Amino acid sequence: MKQGLYILLALSLVLVMFTTAYVHSEEPALAIIPDRLVTLTFDDGPDPRFTPRILDLLRAADVPATFFMVGRNMLAHPEIVQQIARDGHAMANHTTTHPHLETLSEADVRAELNGYDHALQTLFGPLAPHTPWFRPPRGRQSAAIDAVVAEQHKQLVLWNVCVENSKTTTPEQMRDRVVKLIRERGGGILLAHDGELDRSLTVQALPLLLDALQREGYRFVTLDEYEQARSLKQKRHAR
């Protein structure tokens, strides 16, 4: 009887370890955050309903961003991708079709990542602006995703604060919530969205949010610069 109970407890522990290893958190907590630095990222575009307006707002605020783009959307709207590049923003891999990537095999995960790279090369040719950054849809991970990311020498990027939240229904509420979280964390990687769903509220809140954080002394930097600062801080902590 006791032996059976021990086996059951052991199996339960293994199950908990397995399920929590890849559970998606709405706002994954990243341990090392560079002081008073913010990097802004957008997922799911490009989308002609929202991305051009977001580019206008970023240009007006002189803020760089990284666009984690979906390959099929890139091929559907090449003129927006070209504008993102002309404005000096970084582009990064967000798969080809925005599937539930965590449910796929390694071969299918590889095809999703390669499809984005193919779209980039189709639009820019051999001088395509490659970056190592990759973000899985919805931030969900799996052993297959981790294996392909390692195989392709990509760097998986999650976030500290998600701009969109079901409890914020006005631009002012969205701004206030994000500013509060950034204050608590001292900076971080902001996740916003420019495609798939209706992102009108994000577009309305973006200038308020950028202005509020800049007034409080937070500096918006590229993802490259943010990662360099994070790496330096991590090395100092390790000493």
The catalytic position among 77, 94, 98, 193 is: 193
Q: What is the pLDDT of residue 17?
A: 32
For residue 78, whether the previous peptide bond is cis, meaning omega lies within 30 degrees of 0, is: no
Catalytic residue flag (residue 237) = no
* Contact by Cβ (8 Å): 172, 163: no
Q: What is the pLDDT of residue 23?
A: 30
| Predicted TM-score of the model (pTM) | 0.87
Catalytic residue flag (residue 94) = no
Flag whether 203 is in a domain.
yes
Flag whether 8 is in a domain.
no
Average pLDDT score over residue span 149-154: 97
Flag whether 197 is in a domain.
yes
Q: What is the pLDDT of residue 11?
A: 38
Q: What is the pLDDT of residue 30?
A: 66
The catalytic position among 24, 43, 77, 89 is: 43
* Model confidence at 46: pLDDT above 80: yes
**Alpha carbons 81 and 51: distance in angstroms, whole number:** 9
* Model confidence at 33: pLDDT above 50: yes
* Contact by Cβ (8 Å): 116, 106: no
pLDDT above 70 as % of the chain: 87
DSSP string, 216-239: TT-EE--HHHHHHHHHHHHHHHH-
Flag whether 14 is in a domain.
no
Judged by average pLDDT, the poorest of 28-37, 81-90, 171-180 is 28-37
Read off the pLDDT of residues 61-78 as tens digits, 9 standing for 90 and up.
999 999 999 999 999 999
Tokens at 222, concatenated: 């590229």
Q: In CATH, what number is assigned to the domain containing residue 111?
A: 3.20.20.370
In total, how many domains does the chain have? 1
Flag whether 75 is in a domain.
yes
Average pLDDT score over residue span 190-210: 97
* Structure confidence at residue 24 as a pLDDT band (50, 70, 90): very low
* Contact by Cβ (8 Å): 64, 58: yes
* Structure confidence at residue 200 as a pLDDT band (50, 70, 90): very high
Q: What is the DSSP letter of 132?
A: S
Flag whether 69 is in a domain.
yes
Q: Which residues form the domain of 54?
A: 27-238
* Model confidence at 42: pLDDT above 80: yes
